[in-house]
Amino acid sequence: MRERLAIHGGPRAIREPLPTFLESAGRLFGCEEEKLVVEALRSGCLSRNGGTMVGRMEAEFARLLGVPHAIACSSGTAAVHLTIAALDLEPGDEVIVPPITDIGSIVPILWQNAVPVFADVDPHTMVLDAASVRDAIGPRTRAIMAVHLAGQACDMGALGQIARAHRLALIEDCSQAYLASCDGRLVGTIGDMACFSLQQSKHITCGEGGLVVTANDAFAHRARLFADKAWPRESGGLGSGRFLFLAQNYRMSELQGAVALAQLSKVQDSVSRRRARAVELTEKLRAVECLIPPRVPQNTQHSYWLYMLGVKDADAREFGDALTAEGVRAWVQYIIDPLYLSPIFTEPRTYGTSGWPLTQFSRQEYRRGLCPNAERALRRVIAIWWNENYSSANVEQIAEAAMKVSRHYAPAGVRT
């Protein structure tokens, strides 16, 4: 007789709440952050213009990745916007994007009056499929946005070849993938520009914040200006002519910079812990017939922002709801639908009732079936929250919960 599921009134498999990114139990905060925050407060200057914390953090992050330029900003979405703005696109220019990501990877393209063009994903890794990217290129394509999803790196070798052949900029969105790698190279160091997020749930955090890195001097200069109203402060002028082009105020504060600076010293430990616990869970679930642990290509190294668990021979929504009832924190089916099914695109809701720039320039019909691999992948995935403070005992309980649910939905679900 199968054990009664928690969703049906049985005992939960997770006996003590798991640590999460929403509390101190799931974050690597300590005296290092406190010391630098106090130092910033005592300086009397909490603006990056006059302070030192943000500049120190930028320099440290650039050293960590081995790149010449790092530009801090107010969020990961702002970081994406900096990369798009650095390209200085014309209205109607196109950027190829994946349909499975956070909307922050997409909307900055629209803010620059350019058009996202969706390409499909690899059905196993859920990141951009190179062949689909190649098919999506048109005469107005200017860039590719390679989003490293949940810690899984894109095939940057294949995407790089396509970008070079068509003279396209290659942008990496590394918000979910600190220290992931492809072909032995860290993500963020492969494309023309890359963006990172310091939002609460990421590998390291200062609550909200972002970073752009690049080896391209011109891109770095324009991105840095765009984050500060296109004001070249080194010129010292105060006339209206100092605002060089249309730009935003995306400055990071010194308090954010102080926390982020302390967090940078912990990112390698955070990623190492996440990887170790993820490997343990994969080994425990490998024999469960109806579950598909993350498939990591041999030329990549995963950094596990989330643990993307696939489900087969069972309804992923029902399975996921039962799993979360057991105490496993997760987003069932991750974002539910590909982003092109958002009202932003289907109605479209952009600037007033104009639908600009989609109504004027888009060559895609935003409907189901546009990216079939993405749609199928989202129907079967459960995005388990992952954490640098998970212990082996926590992983054991997560595995027990998954196997308990699998026995209910797939009675013959363990391979022999």
- Taking the CA atoms of residue 55, residue 56, residue 61 and residue 64 in that order, the dihedral angle to the nearest 10 degrees is 150
Q: Are 67 and 56 in contact (CB under 8 A)?
A: no
* 291 occurs within a structural domain: no
User: Which amino acid is located at 20 in the chain?
Assistant: T
pLDDT for the residue numbered 1: 53
pTM of the model: 0.95
Per-residue CA distances from 102 to 39, 108, 258 (Å) = 34, 12, 26
Task: With a cut of 70, say whether residue 47 has pLDDT above it.
Answer: yes
* 364 occurs within a structural domain: no
Per-residue CA distances from 184 to 272, 300, 323, 361 (Å) = 16, 7, 35, 39
24 pLDDT tier (thresholds 50, 70, 90): very high
Q: Please tell me the least confidently modeled range out of 116-120, 204-208, 240-244, 280-284.
A: 240-244
19 pLDDT tier (thresholds 50, 70, 90): very high
* 252 occurs within a structural domain: yes
- Those residues whose C-beta lies under 8 Å from the C-beta of residue 356, and which sit 6 or more positions away, are 113, 350
Give the tens place of pLDDT for each residue, 122-180.
999 999 999 999 999 999 999 999 999 999 999 999 999 999 999 999 999 999 999 99
Residue 369, number of CB atoms within 10 A of its CB: 7
Give the tens place of pLDDT for each residue, 248-287.
999 999 999 999 999 999 999 999 999 999 999 999 999 8
Q: How many domains, in total, are found in the chain?
A: 1
* 293 occurs within a structural domain: no
pLDDT for the residue numbered 239: 77
* 93 occurs within a structural domain: yes
* 391 occurs within a structural domain: no
Of 306, 396, 320, the C-alpha closest to 20 is 306
Task: With a cut of 70, say whether residue 416 has pLDDT above it.
Answer: no
415 pLDDT tier (thresholds 50, 70, 90): very low
* 158 occurs within a structural domain: yes
The domain in which residue 156 lies consists of 31-266
Per-residue CA distances from 408 to 34, 104, 319 (Å) = 47, 37, 9
Tokens of 220: 């770095």
* 218 occurs within a structural domain: yes
- The yes-or-no answer on residue 266 being catalytic is no
Kindly name the residue from 202, 284, 312, 404 that is annotated as catalytic. 202
Q: The CATH number of the domain where 163 resides is what?
A: 3.40.640.10
